[in-house]
């Protein structure tokens, strides 16, 4: 089977790496890919929004399956587009991807099907929301409805913070139309864990749980980033919690989607908070998470293409998906100023890495040399018996990666 992966970050490198191992993959292609992906797949520089251009490439390369990884092309209907043209595409349709692309849709959905989540009120007028915050309890959380590059969520400690946030999201429209509707949400306290799952429209199969570290610096200091590292499974996601998750969250989500007439085929990402009051959903994503995927996929034993086909054919229940009983661990190697002031184009040198896998995120080849081309440059990944040995393994190798101002958190997995 000829497979095309859409996207070009560390997550897509992990997806390509896993697809490459499948007995069923003949040709592997990726748009746009990066310098690491280019070593294992044919890459092509096209925008992920150029559906017609990608379709031309699909025909040219005899692609049988398109794996759509990032949120934006999913929300814009890339899976619908290819399916309509008779090409198999893995991922939810635009309608199904609303679980992520509209936080108001997701909240109404959870409330309708009794899925535990933070209480919230949905506003579409700045005046009404300002009136509301006059008497609200703090801290509270403001959330832009639409996709906002992970920056549309503001935790507000005071009324002034909230008023400024409302201006940013709804008046000066920092995230465009994503802020036309804004949710005001109860602030949840607890520990965050992620569970990603495969879904075939009827059945759901969980991947190992995971945790990521979003802040830029050690000790959870600094700005929020796309993620500085991750590990799987999470020691906090116990078998009791897993049972609670299946009964109260995962299965009702699948049943709810079906009742709404939505056939969800792809990955559902559940962002969860373990609160004193039980597990609650913080958000859904309609695809694999980054960098959680880089920690989770190295644990997969079953052929990845078999799983994708079972999802597309609606027979996930018949497939026994096997995971290694180990810990997957990944640390992001970032550009110096990430996430604020990223300088790109620095030359990279990589020593002899032993016992680890290097996923490229923001890399390119310029004049025959490997250079940085993004904020997150690499994810160095290792698999070991437990978190401590995985930490030792990865941190023991990481300084072999060198470029100007390169930086990483040294406390990934210390939780
Ligand atoms: N209701 C809430 N209570 C406490 N923290 C929250 C709440 N909602 C979101 N957060 C925090 O903000 C982060 C981002 O929010 P999320 O809903 O995941 O949006 P996105 O990933 O689209 O930015 C979460 O990972 C969590 O740390
Ligand atoms: Mg999130």
pLDDT in tens, 79-106: 999 999 999 999 999 999 999 999 999 9
Domain match, 56 and 165 both: no
Torsion (CA) 136, 138, 139, 143 in degrees, nearest 10: 10
Q: Does the pLDDT value for residue 415 go beyond 80? A: no
Residue 196 domain-assigned (yes or no): yes
Domain match, 158 and 209 both: no
At residue 150, the pLDDT reads 84
Domain match, 167 and 266 both: no
Residue 117 domain-assigned (yes or no): no
Residues spanned by the domain of 138: 125-180
- Ligand 1 test: best mutation among 282, 285, 287, most atoms within 8 Å of CB? 282
* Structure confidence by residue, pLDDT tens digits, 328-364: 999 999 999 999 999 999 999 999 999 999 999 999 9
Q: How far is CA 87 from the centre of its chain?
A: 24
pTM above 0.85, yes or no: yes
CA angle at 261 for the pair 208 and 304, rounded to the nearest 5°: 30
Longest dimension (CA), the chain: 61
Mean pLDDT of 24-42: 98
- Show the tokens assigned to 36: 């690491």
Name the closest-CA residue to atom 24, ligand 1. 282
* Structure confidence by residue, pLDDT tens digits, 280-296: 999 999 999 999 999 99
Domain match, 144 and 247 both: no
- Show the tokens assigned to 193: 């864990």
Rounded percentage of the chain residues whose pLDDT exceeds 70: 100
Beta-strand relationship, 211-212 and 229-232:
antiparallel
Domain match, 201 and 296 both: yes
Give the position, in ligand 1's atom list, of the atom nearest the Cα of 188: 3
CA of 344 to the centre of ligand 2 (A): 26
CA of 10 to the centre of ligand 2 (A): 17
353, burial (CB in 10 Å: exposed 0-12, middle 13-18, buried 19+) = middle
Residue 290 domain-assigned (yes or no): yes
At residue 101, the pLDDT reads 97
Measured distance between the N- and C-terminal CA atoms of the chain, rounded to whole angstroms: 41
Mean pLDDT of 132-159: 94
Domain match, 277 and 396 both: no
Name the closest-CA residue to atom 27, ligand 1. 192
CA of 240 to the centre of ligand 1 (A): 24
8 Å CB contact between 329 and 380: no
Query: Residue 261: which CATH number?
Result: 3.30.470.20
Name the closest-CA residue to atom 26, ligand 1. 282
8 Å CB contact between 5 and 69: yes
Domain match, 314 and 331 both: no
CA of 372 to the centre of ligand 2 (A): 26
Residue 96 domain-assigned (yes or no): no
Please provide residue 365's backbone torsions phi and psi, each rounded to the nearest 5 degrees: -110, 125
Domain match, 165 and 247 both: no
Domain match, 268 and 308 both: yes
Among 291, 318, 345, the domain-final residue is 318
Name the closest-CA residue to atom 22, ligand 1. 150
Per-residue three-class SS string for the chain:
CEEEEEECCHHHHHHHHHHHCCCCCCEEEEEECCCCHHHCCEECCCCCCCHHHHHHHHHHCCCCEEEECCHHHHHCCHHHHHHHCCCEEECCCCCCCHHHHCHHHHHHHHHHCCCCECCEEEECCHHHHHHHHHCCCCCEEEEECCCCCCCCEEEECCHHHHHHHHHHHHHCCCCHHHHCCEEEEECCCCEEEEEEEEEECCCEEECCCEEECCEEEHHHEEEECCCCEEEECCCCCCHHHHHHHHHHHHHHHHHHHHHCCCCCEEEEEEEEEEECCEEEEEEEECCCCCCHHHHHHHHECCCHHHHHHHHHHCCHHHCCCCECCCEEEEEEEECCCCCCCCCCCCECEECCCCCCEEEECCEEEECCEEEECCCEEEEEEEEECCHHHHHHHHHCCHHHEECCCCECCCCCCCC
Among 283, 318, 353, the domain-final residue is 318
Domain match, 245 and 304 both: yes
Q: How far apart are the C-alpha atoms of 212 and 329, rounded to whole Å?
A: 10
Domain match, 214 and 153 both: no
Domain match, 343 and 299 both: no
At residue 149, the pLDDT reads 86
Query: What's the whole-number average pLDDT of the chain?
Result: 97
* Structure confidence by residue, pLDDT tens digits, 4-31: 999 999 999 999 999 999 999 999 999 9
Name the closest-CA residue to atom 20, ligand 1. 150
Residue 410 domain-assigned (yes or no): no
Residue 169 domain-assigned (yes or no): yes
Q: How confident is the model at residue 121 (pLDDT cuts 50, 70, 90)?
A: very high
What is the number of structural domains in the chain?
A: 4
Ligand 1 neighbours (beta carbon < 6 A): 118, 141, 150, 152-153, 185-188, 192, 271, 282-283
Give the position, in ligand 1's atom list, of the atom nearest the Cα of 120: 1
Residue 113 domain-assigned (yes or no): no
Q: How confident is the model at residue 306 (pLDDT cuts 50, 70, 90)?
A: very high
Rounded percentage of the chain residues whose pLDDT exceeds 90: 99
CA of 243 to the centre of ligand 2 (A): 23
- Ligand 1 test: best mutation among 153, 268, 281, most atoms within 8 Å of CB? 153
Among 156, 180, 204, the domain-final residue is 180
Residue 108 domain-assigned (yes or no): no
CA of 182 to the centre of ligand 1 (A): 14
Query: Residue 20: which CATH number?
Result: 3.40.50.20
At residue 151, the pLDDT reads 87
Query: Residue 153: which CATH number?
Result: 3.30.1490.20
Q: How confident is the model at residue 45 (pLDDT cuts 50, 70, 90)?
A: very high
């Amino acid at each position: 089977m000829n497979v095309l992966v859409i996207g070009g970050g560390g997550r897509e490198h992990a997806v390509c790496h896993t697809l490459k191992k499948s007995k069923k993959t003949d040709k592997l292609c990726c748009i746009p890919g990066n310098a690491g992906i280019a070593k294992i797949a044919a890459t092509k520089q096209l925008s992920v929004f150029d559906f017609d251009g990608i379709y031309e490439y699909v025909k040219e390369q005899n692609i049988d399956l398109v794996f759509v990884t990032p949120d934006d092309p999913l929300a814009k209907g890339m899976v619908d587009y290819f399916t309509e043209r008779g090409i198999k595409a893995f991922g939810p349709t635009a309608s199904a991807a609303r679980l992520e692309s509209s936080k108001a849709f997701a909240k109404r959905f959870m409330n309708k099907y009794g899925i535990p989540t933070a209480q919230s009120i949905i506003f579409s007028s700045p005046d009404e929301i300002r009136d509301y915050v006059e008497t609200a309890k703090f801290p509270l959380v403001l959330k832009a409805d639409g996709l906002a590059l992970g920056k549309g969520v503001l935790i507000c400690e005071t009324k002034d913070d909230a008023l400024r946030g409302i201006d940013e999201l709804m008046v000066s429209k920092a995230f465009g139309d994503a802020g036309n509707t804004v949710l005001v949400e109860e602030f949840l306290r607890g520990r965050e864990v992620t569970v990603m799952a495969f879904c075939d429209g009827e059945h759901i199969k969980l991947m190992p749980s995971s945790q990521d570290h979003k802040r830029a610096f050690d000790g959870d200091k600094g700005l929020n980033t796309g993620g500085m590292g991750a590990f799987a499974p999470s020691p906090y996601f116990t078998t009791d919690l897993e049972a609670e998750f299946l009964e109260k969250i995962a299965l009702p989500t699948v049943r709810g989607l079906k009742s709404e007439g939505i056939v969800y085929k792809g990955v559902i990402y559940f962002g969860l908070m373990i609160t004193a009051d039980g597990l609650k959903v913080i958000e859904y994503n309609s695809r694999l998470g980054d960098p959680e995927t880089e920690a989770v996929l190295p644990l997969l034993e079953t052929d990845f293409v078999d799983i994708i086909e079972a999802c597309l054919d609606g027979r996930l229940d018949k497939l026994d998906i096997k995971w290694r009983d180990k810990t997957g661990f990944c640390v992001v190697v970032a550009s110096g100023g990430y996430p604020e002031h990223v300088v790109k184009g620095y030359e990279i040198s990589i020593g002899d890495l032993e016992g680890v896998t290097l996923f490229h995120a923001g890399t390119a080849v310029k004049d025959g040399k490997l250079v940085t081309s993004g904020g997150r440059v690499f994810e160095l990944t290792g698999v070991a018996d437990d978190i401590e040995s995985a930490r030792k393994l990865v941190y023991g190798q990481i300084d072999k990666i060198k470029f100007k101002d390169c930086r990483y958190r040294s406390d990934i997995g210390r939780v």
